[in-house]
Amino acid sequence: MHVVMTEMYNPSTDTWSVAAPMRTLRGYLACCTLNNRLYAIGGVTGDGSNAVTEVLERGQLKWSMTRVGVTVDRAGHACVSHGDHIYIIGGTRAHGSECLRTVERYDVGRAQWEARSSMANARKHLGCAVLGDHIYAVGGCVEDWGPHLASVERYLPSGDTWEAAPALPIARSRHAVTVLVGPTLCHRQQRWVVPGDDEGGPVRLRAGCVGVCRPPVDRTTLPGRRDSQRAHVRHRRLFVGL
């Protein structure tokens, strides 16, 4: 289903409200935030995938279009912000005609998209998150209904390089990936479950469906940090919900 409706959640009041609608009707888009702005990128319309990027600034009542859209129109992709850039990863071209492994980066200051190194594997309906200095591309699929992927790739923006990361115990797509910080949340990891698809089709919520990935230890980044900061990094985990 393609929609323009936007809803906003207020944690302080634990309520949802209707926010400004997007200007482009679409589905299977990707969103992320950077510098108090919400970016809605790509997606699919009745005519196929698109390259439109819309921005909603905090406190504003309407969306605006960026000067340039992504270089490659796509849907079913992932989107994350890292530093002063936005990255879009994978996805598919119009009507699922081509599964992508390409990556693009948006420089907000220059308002320009540029190609970055591609993943080793094409994937759509993947999950992505930033953990430490890396961006993780997790699972996904090549065809709409399988086979689902268990592979995980890890991207280092400073070196523009990808490498293989530990695979998921269960192949999945259309899932969610997030990072939780702190030992208390890690002890309750089985309560953080997000639905997705595995090889048997849609999966119901159940305890124990969450996978956890610890970041690689990069001792070259630690000098100059306080001990409390090092401990804080050690308690970060990457959670993947089925």
Angle at the Cα of 96 from the Cα atoms of 49 and 82, rounded to 5 degrees: 60
Strands 103-107 and 85-89: antiparallel
From 77, 69, 82, select the one nearest 34 (Cα to Cα).
82
Alpha carbon distance 166, 215 (integer Å): 10
Q: How confident is the model at residue 191 (pLDDT cuts 50, 70, 90)?
A: very low
Is pLDDT above 50 for 203?
Answer: no
> Rounded distance, CA 27 to CA 1, Å?
6
* Residue 97: closest CA among 71, 70, 72: 72
Q: What is the per-residue pLDDT for 45?
A: 81
Q: How confident is the model at residue 198 (pLDDT cuts 50, 70, 90)?
A: low
Phi-psi region of 42 (alpha: psi -120 to 50; beta: other; left: phi over 0): left
Who has greater pLDDT, 181 or 190?
A: 181
For position 145, what pLDDT does the model report? 72
CA distance linking residue 149 with residue 194, whole number of Å: 17
Rounded distance, CA 7 to CA 16, Å? Answer: 7
CA 191/CA 205 separation, integer angstroms: 10
Per-residue pLDDT, 240? 64
Q: Render pLDDT for 52-110 as a digit per residue (tens, 0 to 9).
A: 899 999 888 899 988 778 888 899 999 999 999 999 999 998 766 789 999 999 998 88
Q: Looking at residue 96, what is its pLDDT? A: 65
